[in-house]
């Protein structure tokens, strides 16, 4: 059986999401939407998938590879624009083969089995979809994520102070740091590589990857990414000028195949990375 997956182009209503990566590769609870879908269809007995991409197809090709990670045969095809399912059926019906080809075309704008929770309608809908998916994000191909307590999910490489408060439901990604006296949750997501300073408060919010949240910050019903803050209710976007409240820790990198040695090196360097982050912000405050 073969499926055809259509990657959505950038959506103006959630344009911040696609600044550093195509929508299907944006980290959602630590992993891209395309990865969730490939794991899902592989578990459903699918053997082949065609991925149509018009936004940064090389990036998507780097994420999917040839599909071997999931036991699939994956082909990424570059398109000049996002095709509708009807257009894709007309163009690729022969490749899909016999059977009900129309039912084997999927637009990747929602998580598997949750079509009623669209991801890219607006930021509020995006947040609700993430909350719904949180308990399903530990797919069989993922390792290192544990349920610390009911409704509280953390990566094994997250560092949480014993004096921090985690309130369910919440998610802490890989290499996340939560300082003493900080509160995360309820209904909060902290993506990989982010730093929640001692005393900070994050509730009903998303903290994007590699984002610093300072000790005086109180995030509520917000999406923070680097120095950008989105109000989830209003959809308004603003830049935060104070780096001690909100800032980017590093620039996003292109996807790379994470081999065994790379993962081992990352694990060994975890504590060093945390010390470097603390030292960086100590120096910044000293200079000010």
Do 283 and 149 belong together in one domain? yes
CATH of the domain at 40: 3.90.550.10
Do 45 and 17 belong together in one domain? yes
Distance CA 196, CA 277 (A): 11
β-pair partners for 220: 203
Number of separate domains in the chain: 2
Quote the tokens at residue 39.
Answer: 């794991």
Do 54 and 149 belong together in one domain? no
Q: Which domain holds residue 254?
A: 145-287
Predicted structure pTM score: 0.86
Half-sphere exposure of 123 (CA within 13 A, CB side): 24
Do 196 and 157 belong together in one domain? yes
Do 119 and 50 belong together in one domain? yes
Distance CA 108, CA 83 (A): 12
Distance CA 32, CA 255 (A): 11
Report whether pLDDT(275) > 80: no
pLDDT tens, position by position, 180-232 = 999 999 999 999 999 999 999 999 999 999 999 999 899 999 999 999 999 99
pLDDT tens, position by position, 131-145 = 999 999 988 778 889
Residue corresponding to tokens 């800032």: 247
Do 132 and 153 belong together in one domain? no
Quote the tokens at residue 42.
Answer: 């592989």
CATH of the domain at 282: 2.160.10
pLDDT tens, position by position, 151-183 = 999 999 999 999 999 999 999 999 999 999 999
Do 283 and 151 belong together in one domain? yes
Do 112 and 177 belong together in one domain? no
Do 118 and 151 belong together in one domain? no
pLDDT tens, position by position, 32-61 = 999 999 999 999 999 999 999 999 999 999
Do 123 and 8 belong together in one domain? yes
Of 136, 159, 178, the residue that ends a domain is 136
Inter-residue contact 24 to 110 (CB < 8 Å):
no
Buried/exposed code over 74-102 (b: 16+ C-beta within 10 A; e: otherwise): bbbeebeebbeeeebbeebeeebeeeebe
Of 107, 136, 165, the residue that ends a domain is 136
Do 157 and 267 belong together in one domain? yes
Do 90 and 166 belong together in one domain? no
Of 88, 116, 136, the residue that ends a domain is 136
């Amino acid at each position: 059986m073969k499926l055809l997956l259509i990657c959505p182009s950038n959506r103006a209503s959630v344009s911040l999401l696609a600044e550093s990566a195509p929508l299907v590769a944006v980290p959602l609870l630590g992993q891209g939407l395309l990865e969730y879908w490939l794991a899902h269809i592989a578990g459903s007995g699918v053997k082949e998938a065609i991925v149509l991409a018009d936004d940064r197809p090389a990036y998507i090709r780097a994420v999917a590879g040839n599909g071997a990670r999931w036991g699939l045969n994956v082909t990424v095809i570059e398109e000049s624009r996002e095709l509708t399912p009807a257009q894709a059926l007309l163009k690729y019906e022969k490749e899909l083969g016999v059977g009900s080809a129309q039912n084997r075309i999927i637009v990747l704008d929602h998580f598997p089995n949750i079509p009623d929770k669209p991801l890219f309608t607006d930021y509020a809908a995006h947040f609700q979809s993430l909350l719904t998916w949180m308990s399903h994000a530990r797919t069989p191909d993922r390792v290192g994520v544990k349920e610390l307590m009911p409704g509280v999910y953390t990566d094994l490489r997250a560092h949480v102070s014993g004096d921090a408060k985690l309130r369910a439901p919440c998610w802490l990604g890989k290499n996340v740091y939560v300082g003493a006296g900080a509160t995360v949750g309820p209904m909060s997501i902290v993506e990989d590589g982010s730093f929640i300073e001692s005393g900070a408060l994050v509730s009903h919010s998303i903290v994007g990857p590699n984002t610093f949240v300072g000790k005086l910050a109180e995030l509520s019903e917000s999406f923070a990414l680097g120095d950008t803050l989105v109000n989830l209710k209003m959809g308004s976007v603003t830049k935060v000028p104070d780096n001690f409240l909100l800032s980017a820790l590093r620039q996003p990198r292109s996807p790379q195949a994470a081999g065994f040695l790379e993962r081992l090196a990352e694990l060994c360097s975890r504590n060093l990375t945390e010390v470097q982050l603390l030292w960086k912000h100590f120096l910044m405050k000293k200079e000010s």
